[in-house]
Amino acid sequence: MSSPVGFEIPIHRSLTQPIMFAGLPRTFGLLLWTTVAALVLGLHQIWVLPLGVVAHVLFAAVARREPFFFDVFLHAIHAQRRLDP
């Protein structure tokens, strides 16, 4: 079913996709790398750096498959566990 003439407007794809930072959603990527940097630089825990890279690659693969995965995951965590009548 097509829309009537004049009722369609082009929407750029960037308006419907989340803002990505190195393959991750911006807030999640900044949170991950801020935590890794604080542990590596502040506490001198250099073993955290390879874990951060592995986590980044895994999370980027998830975000490539479904860009809104992290938004849905956060919503599911905060959702009520049962329905009240």
| 13 domain-assigned | no
Q: How many domains does the chain contain in total?
A: 1
Cα distances from 32 to residues 1, 15, 16, 70, 76, in angstroms, run: 45, 25, 24, 13, 20
| 9 domain-assigned | no
- Give residue 67's domain range: 19-78
| 6 domain-assigned | no
| 2 domain-assigned | no
| 49 domain-assigned | yes
On whether the pTM is more than 0.85, the answer is no
Per-residue pLDDT of the chain (85 residues; tens, 9 = 90+): 677 787 888 888 888 888 888 999 999 999 999 999 999 999 999 999 999 999 999 999 999 999 899 999 999 999 888 877 7
| 55 domain-assigned | yes
